[in-house]
Amino acid sequence: MPEHLIELRGISKVFPGVRALDKVSFFLKAGEVHALVGENGAGKSTLMKIISGIYNRDEGEYLLNGDSVGDLTPKKAQELGIAIIHQELNMCQDLTVAENIFLGREISKLGCVCQKEMNRDAKEILNKLKIGIEPDTVLRKLPVSKQQMVEIAKALSTNARILIMDEPTSALTEREISELFDIIRTLKSNGCAIVYISHRLEELEHIADCVSIFRDGRHIVTKDFKDTDLNEIISYMVGREIKEKFPAVECQKGSKILEVKNLCSGIVNDVSFDLYQGEIIGLAGLIGAGRTELVRALFGAESITGGEIRLKGRKLNIRTPRDAIMEGIVLGPEDRKKEGLCTKLSIRENIGLANLDRICNKAGIVSRNKENRLAESAIDKLKIKTPSQEQLVNNLSGGNQQKIVVGKWLVRNAEVVIFDEPTRGIDVAAKVEIYNIMNDLKRQGIGVIFVSSEMPEVMGMSDRILVMCNGRITGDLISREATQDEILRCATKYNH
């Protein structure tokens, strides 16, 4: 029995245009939780995909239980006892929970799949995870967080000795996260090795034994977790000290700009609040609380079933995002790939798309000069790293993509700017840049609403915090005075 379950030496992986991994070494012991951190594009997922046979390494040596392995396939990796929970949800929405859990490993007799057994086994695993869902429910019907739990259940069901978790918590509620941590601890005591990737560094304190830090496809250091602290880790990640994680600025708030009265839409129920110029409101709450639905309703993307919205005292009748934009209310949506960007188009066209009314003449003919200038100014303002404004958005790193989602609105003078999870899954440095963008808006006397599931960020950035639960506002706090558990208490006030 060798000391390490996995030994990687001098692993490199090149994608067209990017050197994702550059001579990386990585060692994994049995019974340890090995945290893996690094900025976006550091190469974490790529390395994990190489371990689990999704990509093949360009060079380097890969030892599993001491014996070297050639090119793997996902299936072979599975058989070798490696399971991975992917960063993006990877489930078949049309299949049932059980079918998803056993996908590719169906139990079958004489070529005929045994539904019964699979449902039974699935049920067991789900119970172990304390998830009360039926194995024969179709996945589509479950909320995102539950789907994520199913993905975890799927990984566990393989009884793998090596378990890779690539940002498993990014869509989980606090309660589910603690369930997950319990499971991780039991697995550990059974001698499983776990690789744990997360951008929520705070989490690591609960579980991590040691931490490896990656930057730009290179392995920087591996340390025992107890010999280090978050600030050190962060400085390794970004290659420099970050002075203040939350560069909040003070500026006195102006007159009331947005007034929401008894708004109802979908699960959003009787929501009222005011927003002032030069104010940042943070919308906190657990996943599924209805924050996205609320902001989408304000933006005209969800149909409003009751209540009213006033801008500078004037009652608005917003039925489509178009109306909202015309009124000066803009939204940077939650999921950049799905709702935020036309990834097949260039930066210029994405910026232009949101501002066509300003670069087109009466006849609806686009002025390329105006458009170019617009794109240039946006790229400069947001410090988007790109060779040219003609770069396809698809080829940008996550952080820079997010900047465009946010930034396409900034070149027009909006009255109210809404961000939904603007920092989800992007690295520390990029986050700070997004925070600075918010502060600029604040200084210009624009009203900012931003949804976030990361409490430190909400508390650090916003002047006021609205906590939502179950579609209602269950707390309206001054962030200076707010505390984590106070927010959490409001966020779980289900009986209202």
Partner 1 sequence: MQKREYNFNGLLRQTVSIRGMGQVISVSVALIIMTIVFGIINPLFFSKDNMTNLLRQVVPIMIIGMGQSFVLITGGIDLSIGSVAGMSSMISATLMTTGHMNPWLAAFITIAACCAVGLINGFLVSRTKLPAFIATLGTMIIARGIAQLSNGNMNTDGIPEAAKAFKDLFYYGDTFGLYNPIWIGLILFIIFNFILSRTRTGRHTYAIGSNYEAAKLSGVNVILAETKVYIFSAFLAGIVGLMLTAQSGMGTMSAGTSYELNAVAASVIGGVSTMGGQGLLFGTVIGSFIWGVLNNGLQFAGAPLALRNLVIGVVVIISVLIDRVARSGKFDFRKALKSK
> How far apart are alpha carbons 386 and 347 in whole angstroms?
9
Q: Is there a contact between 194 and 188 (Cβ–Cβ < 8 Å)? A: yes
Nearer to ligand ATP, 51 or 374 (CB): 51
Query: Hey, what are 453's tokens?
Result: 């599931």
CB-wise, 41 or 447, nearer to ligand ATP?
41
Contact pick of 160, 164, 184, 301 for partner 1 (by CB under 8 A): 301
Instruction: State which of residues 156, 287, 309, 341 lies at the interface with partner 1 (CB under 8 A).
Output: 341
Give me the residues that bind ligand ATP (CB under 6 A), please: 15, 18, 20, 38, 40-46, 87, 143-144, 267, 285, 287-293, 334, 397-398, 425, 453
Among 252, 338, 413, 481, binds partner 1 (CB under 8 A): 338
User: Residue 295, interface with partner 1 (CB under 8 A)?
Assistant: no
Q: CB under 5 A: which stretch of 21-29, 212-220, 331-339, 357-365 binds Mg ion?
A: 331-339
Buried b (16+ CB within 10 A) or exposed e, 141-161: ebeebbbbbbbbbbbbbbebb
Using the rule CB under 8 A, which residue among 40, 96, 169, 439 binds partner 1?
Answer: 96
Residue span binding partner 1 (CB under 8 A) among the ranges 183-191, 196-204, 224-232, 365-373:
365-373
Nearer to ligand ATP, 143 or 254 (CB): 143
Among 14, 59, 61, 94, binds partner 1 (CB under 8 A): 94
Among 21, 45, 51, 83, binds Mg ion (CB under 5 A): 45
Residue 344: name its binding partner from Mg ion, partner 1, ligand ATP, none (Cβ under 5 to 8 Å by kind): partner 1
Q: From the CB of residue 31, how many other CB atoms can be counted at a distance below 10 Å?
A: 14
Give 419 or 435: the residue with its C-beta nearer to Mg ion. 419
Contact 31, 62 (CB under 8 A): no
Tokens coding 367: 């002025």
Measured between alpha carbons, how far is residue 273 from residues 11, 253, 418, 485 in Å?
53, 15, 14, 22
Q: From the list 241, 364, 413, 480, which residue makes contact with partner 1 (rule: CB under 8 A)?
A: 364
Given 86, 188, 424, 442, the residue binding partner 1 (CB under 8 A): 86
DSSP secondary structure, 137-180, as one string = SBGGGS-HHHHHHHHHHHHHHTT-SEEEEESGGGG--HHHHHHH
Q: What residues from 380 to 439 belong to the interface with partner 1 (CB under 8 A)?
A: 387-390, 392, 408
Distances (CA, A) of 339 to 290, 345, 442: 17, 14, 25
Q: How far apart are the C-alpha atoms of 92 and 141, rounded to whole Å? A: 12
Q: Which does 73 bind (CB under 5 to 8 A by kind): Mg ion, ligand ATP, partner 1, none?
A: partner 1
Rounded CA-CA distance 238/428 in Å is 8
Q: Which of 466, 469, 468, 488 is nearest to 477 (CA)?
A: 466
β pairing state of 447-451 and 280-285? parallel
Instruction: Find the part of the chain contacting Mg ion (CB under 5 A) among 40-48, 74-82, 188-196, 300-308.
Output: 40-48
For partner 1, the closer CB: 148 or 492: 148
CA distances from 254 to 251, 280, 371, 460 (A): 9, 12, 32, 21
30-69 residues near partner 1, rule: CB under 8 A: 54
Within residues 280-319, the interface with Mg ion by CB under 5 A covers 292
